[in-house]
Amino acid sequence: MKIQYLAALLASSALTVGAMTLPSTVNSVFAAPCAGAAGSVNPCAGNPCASANPCAGNPCATVNPCAGNPCATANPCAGNPCATANPCATANPCASANPCAGADAVRATAPPHPAVYIESTSNLAIRGADPVAYFTEGAAVAGNAAYRYTWNGATWQFSSAQNRALFAANPEAYAPQYGGYCAKALSEGNLASVDPRVWTIVEGKLYLNYSTDVQQQWSQDIPGNIVKGDANWPTILTMKTFYENVVAWVG
């Protein structure tokens, strides 16, 4: 089911946050509950409550009007699925809306996974964003193919020769934590891709998230989520399926 998130991000003197509004709200990818994620099932497929409650306005839904009526010759509720119990009355995740409607197209990959998240389409770390720019410009900046550097098994792209030189001199100071995988997913024991525009610097370390919604959830307990993420990294790379969505973030 769709996770509810806080309306605002956590702010503190030790915290720098960057996020841009995404085209649409996304469902939580970590459990991959929706059709479209490899090996997943849409919990609302074939569910009569997915679009509308079929018992709404049905006189048999709550009380059988013929129950105890000695004069009734024919029970108008006989055979009616709403006569004894409303199948949509309980906590049905499909009763109000299909939680899979509009869900991201997600690509699932079985383990093991590389130490750095490499986008499947560009073959670049951080989907081609300049890791140094988060620290020097306070923004997600697209790198340039003219300024590339290979480190930790991945190709990193930069917006200038100066930024490339800074990274080459000390990669650990600028590379995102958890190899650029989603920090919230790591805290839950899962692996997911990131949107370069959704980032946080905590105590001089860069963390990325899957989406603005996911970042808001992660921000509810940043210290606790970092402890959980640290505990799962890097052994998770050999254990869990990786989920990657499609993000066109430049332009």
Tokens of 134: 């988060």
What is the CA 251 to chain-centroid distance, rounded? 22
Residue 250's pLDDT band, with cuts at 50, 70 and 90, is confident
User: Would you say 128 and 122 are in contact if contact means Cβ atoms under 8 Å apart?
Assistant: yes
pLDDT tens column, 35-79? 444 444 555 555 555 555 566 666 656 555 556 555 555 666 666
**Cis amide linkage into residue 112, ω under 30° from 0:** yes
pLDDT for 47 equals: 57
Whether the predicted pLDDT of 144 surpasses 70: yes
- Domain boundaries of the chain, sorted by first residue: 15-40+104-245
**Which amino acid appears at position 54 of this protein?**
P
Query: Which of helix, strand or coil describes residue 203?
Result: coil
**Measured distance CA(51)–CA(27) in Å, rounded:** 18
**pTM to 2 decimals?**
0.66
Tens of pLDDT along 6-29? 222 233 335 667 753 333 223 334
Residues 187-244 have pLDDT tens digits of 999 999 999 999 999 999 999 999 999 999 999 999 999 999 999 999 999 999 999 9
